[in-house]
Amino acid sequence: MSWFQFATRHRAGIASIVVLVFPHIMPFTALAVNILIYGLYALGFNLVYGYLGLLSFGHAALFGTGAYLCGIAVVHFALPWYLAIAIGVLGGLLMAAMIGVLAIRTRGIYFAMVTMALSQCVYYLFYQAVDWTGGENGLRGINVRAVNILGVKLDFIDPLTRYYVIAAFVIAAFFLLSRILASPFGAVIEAVRENETRAKASGYDVTATRLITFVLSGGFCGLAGALQALHLSIVPIEIMHYDTSGIVVMIALLGGMGTFFGPMIGAAAFLMLENLVAVWTVHWQLIVGAVFMICVLFFPAGIWGTLISRGKR
């Protein structure tokens, strides 16, 4: 068995080890947490974009709904943190189901446009509900000071503890996603991407597969949003903005669409670059833009995608 086959078989385990040592090689812990969260968000997005082959431009609505519902659960209902996360995931699933039912029949550019339009509707819904979401000022006061895990009280303010608690959820999501992709259903997802007519002829319900995948993606994005709300202790309205939908496309492209680690690598590369360059110069957008262009020109399969194709050779 080559190293490549070994790595593919144990992809979730290897990713978990990387996640564990990650905060020690990052410039600061809050950035490491952001990378995890955006990586998870991109992982969920990649399920639809990379594996199902549909470009959604409305994933900010799923990410944002997870964040807002988790925040609202803590701020307005004083629910414990784990229930708040569960509500965030549920919110992501439900929002994806609603957007999915309306958008899933369209294809290609139309799917991108419809998802974007629907996500803008969601943006204004949350923007207008000032009493619940804080509107323009954002939702504040998602203050979780300590988390109880099986009777052990952990200080959630401590940066490393916060990182590892969030990492635990991200690792669980890794294993779950890996399991989904390795299942027969995972094969159907890719079959639909590769040849829709053939998948249909083989007796698979293409529309249902698409919808279920989109809803699952919403669950992962909702989890990412909920973790983001707990991490930053605020939910800004900007989280619902179409910028947030655009960033995740960039991250997936940079890392490598349709690859398992690609979104994580993409999130790490994108956020690290942005954060480090912004400390040196106010013209950070120029440099980040140039790097992105170079990547698209010379690594069209993304950073991880390129490494994988070299590894297979």
Partner 1 sequence: MKQTRSGSMTRRRLLATVSARAALAVSPFRINLLQAQEANIKIGFPVPLTGPYGTEAQDQVRAAQLAVAQFNDAGGLNGRKAELVVRDDKLNPGEAATRTLELVEKEKVNFVVGSLSAAVQLAINNVTKERGIIFNSISQSDAINEAADFSRFTFHEALNPHLTSGAVGRYAFSKFGKRVAFLTSDYAYGHEMVRGFLEVGKAFNIENLGDIRHPLGTSDFSTLLPRIQALKPDILCISNFGRDQQIVLKQATDFGIKQTTQIIAPLLSHASRVAAGPQAFEGVIGGCSFYWGIEDKFASTKAFNEAFKKMYDGKLPTDYGALGYGGVRTILAAVTNAGSVDTDKVIAAMEALKYDFYKGPQYYRKCDHQSVQSVLVIKSNSKDLRNSSDVFEVIGTDEPNETNLRTCSELGHKA
Rule CB under 8 A: choose which of 198, 205, 285, 296 binds partner 1.
285
For partner 1, which residue of 19, 34, 193, 252 counts as binding (CB under 8 A)?
Answer: 34
State which of positions 241-260 bind partner 1 (CB under 8 A): none
DSSP state of 47: I
Judged by beta carbon, residue 27 or residue 300, the one nearer partner 1 is: 27
Which one, 1 or 25, has the nearer CB to partner 1?
Answer: 25
**Of 87, 144, 128, 136, nearest to 236 (Cα)?**
136
Burial 246-266 (b: 16+ CB within 10 A, else e): ebbbbbbbbbbbbbbbbbbbb
The piece of 19-27, 205-213, 214-222, 255-263 that touches partner 1 (CB under 8 A) is 19-27
Between residue 116 and residue 135, which ones bind partner 1 under the rule CB under 8 A?
A: 135
Give the one residue of 42, 192, 232, 251 binding partner 1; rule: CB under 8 A: 232
In the complex with partner 1, which residue's Cβ is closer, 159 or 186?
159
Query: Given the complex with partner 1, which of 157 and 182 has the nearer CB atom?
Result: 157
Closest to 247 in 3D by CA, of 227, 224, 276 = 224
CB 255 within 8 A of CB 43: no
For the chain, count helices (H), then strands (E): 15, 4
Q: Minimal CA–CA distance to 250: which of 272, 236, 266?
A: 266
Among the listed residues 7, 18, 31, 181, the single contact to partner 1 using CB under 8 A: 31
Pairing of strands 146-149, 152-155: antiparallel
CA distance 79 to 85: 10
Q: How many CB atoms lie within 10 A of CB 69?
A: 27
Q: 141 vs 300, which CB is nearer to partner 1?
A: 141
132, 175, 185, 284: residue in contact with partner 1 (rule CB under 8 A): 284
48 to 87: interface string for partner 1, x by CB under 8 A = ----------------------------------------
140 binds partner 1 (CB under 8 A): yes
Please identify, using beta-carbon distances, which residue of 145 and 203 lies nearer to partner 1.
Answer: 145
| Distance from C-alpha of 283 to C-alpha of 58, rounded to nearest angstrom | 28
Site for partner 1 in 148-187 (CB under 8 A): 157, 159
Q: Which of 13, 138, 186, 246 binds partner 1 (CB under 8 A)?
A: 138
d(CA 303, CA 265): 7
Please pick, from the candidates 236, 246, 250, 292, the single residue that binds partner 1 as defined by CB under 8 A.
236
Number of residues that make up the chain: 313
- Cα angle vertex 84, ends 230, 160, to 5°? 30
Rounded-to-integer distance, Cα 172 and Cα 178, Å: 10
Binder among 136, 150, 151, 197 for partner 1 (CB under 8 A): 136
Return residues touching partner 1 (CB under 8 A).
25-31, 34, 135-138, 140-141, 143, 145, 157, 159, 228, 232-234, 236-239, 272, 276, 278-279, 282, 284-285, 310, 313
